[in-house]
């Protein structure tokens, strides 16, 4: 046996050969959902029988629906979970797949009693929904990085063990292929990994093939961004029931998935609320060090500059303990904004662990401010042990606030990030790889400040003879840019009626038959029941819910926190003799280095940022990109001062004063607006809200000579921005 030793983060690690040889993944994307089939090949190169344990992440909304093992020509059947340990003790081959008790996005797969020299092929299948991004792309992510979940001191251990090594030492390759199909044409498919050219499979471009370039090491999340045409049209996926299932059951009847992604009128989109209590909760645990905490500071700068005058705000940060900038939320004005920015500038990833429960409980203990709806923004890399407890806490307080969550970096817990937003009636975003945090966060701030569609009722305009039973939780709100999926069970002569009559409910229909919709509907029901079961409303009530979860899980073939997939080979010959060795299959470790990105001058950015330039001086300002430097100079009311603006736009104060056609503040503000529109149009998602605030301030001044100011600003900056584009 070859043993390799190396140093990583000052710890001596020992690497031994592991039995996982390769991972092959095939993905079928149907409109807004995906079916993922993974085949994992194991081979025991040890001299003794082994048990290989592979702990891996999975999308929190995924529904595991198939698990099988093939040894030689023998396909091993599934049996009860309790038989796994019994099978190992008797020397039989056994294979176990189960969900972590702490978080539904962590699974553990055990390949037990694999004899020396023997190979086993494991087939794992799951279905999942696809998230909508800020640019209207659908995001599919195959997680590779699993960060160890932080466990507070003194809590009962029970978490799974994660073995991680640098990506260069991950001993298995990944083969990846995706087929994309939709009722609407596919515009393009992008990825964070090297892909072969996109291959369209139909002339109308409604089907395409995507392949990962050969030789890819599974050392980072594989992300696909899928762009469809006509994205705002509602669509439905109708699926026939399982022939072998009993009629009247979820799996026996047809099911439908309705996708709603409305586009709001422009007058609604242009209006923002000037009220609200905005509470920002920032992860300052050690795992946020480097580029992540620096990006978070930049993001808080943009958020604070984008808030409307008259609202209320506060900033909390947490690790093993938590801190808050103000004892309670304060009114947003120049003085409070400046005080907050000075403290944000000093924030580092120096608070230890990731204990988010205490600050959340403190926030919820604060009385809500009348006529100021509370909006909670949570920023974390998601390395939290008590995921279900945190989500239940947000759910129990969902009537008093909305929660917007942001998963930072690869390996963030999808269960935590999606769960916070779902139970808090907000929106979830993930920032990975080279993504800039700011556009996604500002999009969520727009959601928080825009009027939401509430008091929603759904009327099913179905043909005669067809009825629908809704399986999804009721919709409480819909935002611009946010997709909602509804699942329903259909009864009656569904398929024959839908095919013969015109259907008014849908603008497009995509018929499928792989039980994807049924399994996602079952998963939605199971997750809702698990949340209710966790509310501890009495042992009898919880026992009934547990039985319902297990029955639904067994019926649909979808895993839950109370069930697991077991495969036991009882047809193999003699029992395997000798002691059983445990081998933990390693996953790529999270990069601990500084995450560098390019600033607006294409120079490397080392993580420093400037939030209060008057206080921090010119040395720090030079490390900040021009966009954030100009943004940092805006006052809380929305205007700019002329003298500090001069350097940001590359001019002297004297030159700007000599060209001033109006009052100084009006001239400075228009100059800043022309600079943003003319030179930073590609970053509009980041500065749009603070520009709206600036325009509101200009309108309140009733100043003359605005056209002359715009003309002079264009001349100075070499731009050609029209006055009407500025909205003044």
CATH 2.60.40.1730 residue ranges for the chain: 16-233+562-582
Instruction: Decide which of 710 and 295 is more confident.
Output: 710
Check: CB of residue 491 under 8 Å from CB of residue 465: no
User: In the chain, which segments carry CATH 3.40.50.410?
Assistant: 272-449
* DSSP per residue, 433-483: TT--HHHHHHHHHHHHHSPPEES------PPTTEEEEE-SPPP-EE-TT--
Q: What is the pLDDT of residues 69-103, one digit of tens each?
A: 777 677 765 543 444 455 555 556 566 677 666 56
Looking at residue 530, its pLDDT comes to: 77
State the pLDDT at residue 54: 64
Q: What share of the chain is helix, strand, coil (3-state, %, to 5)?
A: 30, 30, 40
Report which of 610, 613, 600, 624 is spatially closest to residue 681, judged by C-alpha positions: 600
Higher pLDDT, 207 or 514: 207
Instruction: Give the DSSP letter of residue 496.
Output: H
| Pick from 62-76, 158-172, 424-438, 601-615: least confident | 601-615
Task: Among 272-276, 610-614, 626-630, name the one with the lowest average pLDDT.
Answer: 610-614
* Average pLDDT score, the chain: 76
Rounded to whole angstroms, the Cα distance separating 144 from 126 reads: 16
Query: Does residue 167 surpass a pLDDT of 70?
Result: no
Burial of 213-230, coded b for 16+ CB within 10 Å and e otherwise, reads: eeebebbbbbbbbbbbee
Q: Would the pLDDT of 16 be above 70?
A: no
The domain made up of 272-449 has a fold known as Rossmann fold (3.40.50)
- What is the pLDDT, as a whole number, of residue 385? 67
pLDDT tens digits, 694-726: 999 999 998 888 999 999 999 999 999 999 899
Q: How far apart, in Å, are the Cα atoms of 509 and each of 32, 235, 236, 516?
A: 13, 6, 5, 15
Mean pLDDT value across residues 177-189: 90
The pLDDT value given to residue 32 = 84
| Helix boundaries (H) for 66-142 | 83-89
* Averaged pLDDT, 494-519: 53
Rounded to two decimals, what is the model's pTM? 0.64
pLDDT of residue 425: 80
Gap between the Cα atoms of 321 and 358, Å rounded? 8
pLDDT in the model for residue 558: 82
Give the tens place of pLDDT for each residue, 213-266. 887 766 677 889 999 988 777 777 788 888 888 888 888 888 888 888 777 776
Band of pLDDT at residue 673, cut at 50, 70 and 90: very high
| Terminal Cα-to-Cα distance of the chain (whole angstroms) | 74
Min mean pLDDT across 36-40, 58-62, 485-489, 517-521 is at 58-62
Phi, psi for residue 717 in degrees, rounded to 5:
-95, -5
In this prediction, residue 423 carries a pLDDT of: 85
Q: What percent of the chain has pLDDT over 70?
A: 71
Closest by alpha carbon to 703, among 661, 673, 658, 674? 661
Can you list the positions of beta strands (E) in 87-172?
93-99, 106-114, 119-129, 131-132, 138-142, 164-165
pLDDT of 220: 73
pLDDT of residue 674: 95
Task: Look at the block and give the residue holding tokens 């194991």.
Answer: 42
Closest among 600, 599, 633, 601 to 616, alpha carbons compared: 633
Domain 16-233+562-582 CATH class label: mainly beta
Give the largest Cα separation in the chain, rounded: 95
Q: From 295, 287, 278, 276, select the one nearest 318 (Cα to Cα).
A: 287
């Amino acid at each position: 046996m070859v043993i390799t030793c190396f140093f990583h983060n000052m710890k001596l690690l020992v690497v031994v050969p592991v039995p996982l040889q390769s991972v092959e993944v095939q993905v079928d994307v149907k409109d807004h959902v995906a079916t993922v089939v993974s085949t994992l090949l194991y081979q025991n190169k040890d001299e003794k029988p082994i048990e290989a344990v592979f702990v891996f992440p999975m999308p929190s909304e995924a529904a595991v629906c198939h698990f099988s093992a093939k040894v030689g020509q023998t396909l091993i059947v599934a049996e009860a979970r309790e038989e796994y340990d019994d099978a190992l003790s008797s020397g039989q081959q056994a294979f176990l797949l189960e969900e972590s008790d702490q978080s539904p996005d962590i699974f553990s797969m055990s390949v037990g009693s694999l004899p020396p020299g023997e190979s086993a092929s494991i087939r794992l299948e799951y279905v999942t929904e696809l998230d909508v991004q800020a640019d209207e792309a659908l995001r599919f992510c195959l997680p590779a990085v699993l960060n160890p979940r932080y466990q507070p001191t003194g809590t009962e251990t029970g978490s799974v063990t994660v073995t991680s090594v640098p990506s260069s030492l991950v001993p298995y390759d990944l083969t990846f292929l995706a087929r994309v199909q939709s009722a609407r044409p596919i515009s393009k498919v992008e990825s964070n990994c090297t892909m072969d050219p996109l291959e369209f499979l139909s002339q109308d471009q409604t089907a395409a093939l995507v392949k990962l370039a050969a030789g890819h090491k599974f050392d980072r999340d594989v992300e696909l961004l899928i762009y469809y045409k006509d994205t705002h049209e509602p669509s439905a996926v109708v699926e026939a029931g399982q022939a072998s299932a009993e009629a009247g059951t979820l799996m026996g009847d047809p099911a439908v998935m309705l996708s709603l992604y409305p586009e709001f009128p422009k007058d609604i989109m242009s209006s923002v609320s000037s009220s609200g209590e905005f509470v920002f909760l920032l992860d300052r645990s050690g795992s946020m060090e480097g580029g992540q905490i620096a990006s978070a500071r930049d993001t808080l700068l943009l958020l604070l500059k984008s808030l409307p005058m008259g609202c209320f705000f506060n900033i909390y940060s947490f690790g093993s303990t938590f801190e808050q900038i103000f004892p309670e939320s304060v009114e947003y004005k120049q003085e409070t904004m400046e005080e907050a920015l000075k403290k944000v500038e000093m924030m580092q990833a120096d608070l230890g662990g990731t204990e988010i429960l205490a600050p959340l409980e403190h926030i919820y203990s604060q009385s809500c401010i009348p006529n100021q709806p509370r909006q909670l923004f949570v920023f974390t890399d998601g390395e939290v042990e008590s995921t279900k407890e945190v989500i239940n806490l947000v759910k129990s307080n969902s009537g008093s606030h909305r929660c917007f969550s942001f998963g930072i970096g690869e390996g963030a817990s999808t269960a935590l990030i999606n769960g916070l937003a779902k139970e808090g009636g907000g929106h979830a975003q993930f920032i990975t790889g080279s993504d800039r945090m700011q556009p996604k966060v500002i999009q969520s701030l727009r959601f928080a400040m825009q009027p939401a569609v509430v008091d929603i009722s759904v009327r099913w305009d179905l043909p005669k003879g067809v009825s629908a039973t809704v399986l999804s939780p009721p919709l409480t709100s819909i935002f611009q840019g946010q997709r909602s999926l509804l699942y329903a069970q259909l009864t009656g002569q569904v398929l024959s009626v839908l095919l013969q009559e015109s259907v008014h409910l849908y603008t497009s229909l995509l018929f499928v038959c792989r039980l994807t919709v049924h399994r996602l509907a079952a998963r939605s029901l199971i997750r809702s029941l698990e949340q209710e079961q966790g509310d501890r409303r009495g042992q009898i009530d919880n026992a009934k819910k547990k039985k319902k979860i297990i029955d639904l899980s067994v019926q649909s073939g979808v895993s839950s926190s109370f069930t697991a997939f077991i495969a036991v080979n009882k047809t193999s010959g003699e029992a395997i003799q000798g002691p059983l060795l445990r081998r933990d299959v390693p996953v790529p470790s999270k990069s601990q280095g500084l995450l560098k990105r390019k600033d607006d001058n294409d120079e490397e950015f080392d993580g420093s940022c400037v939030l209060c330039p008057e206080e921090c001086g010119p040395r720090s300002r030079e490390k900040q990109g021009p966009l954030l430097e100009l943004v940092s100079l805006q006052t809380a009311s929305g205007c700019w001062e002329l003298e500090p603006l001069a350097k940001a736009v590359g001019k002297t104060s004297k030159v700007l004063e000599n060209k001033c056609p109006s009052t100084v503040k009006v001239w400075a503000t228009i100059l800043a607006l022309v600079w943003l529109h003319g030179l930073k149009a590609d970053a509009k998602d980041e500065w749009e809200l603070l520009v709206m605030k600036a325009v509101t301030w200009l309108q309140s001044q009733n100043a003359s000579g605005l056209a002359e100011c715009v003309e002079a600003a264009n001349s100075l900056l070499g731009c050609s921005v029209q006055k009407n584009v500025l909205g003044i």
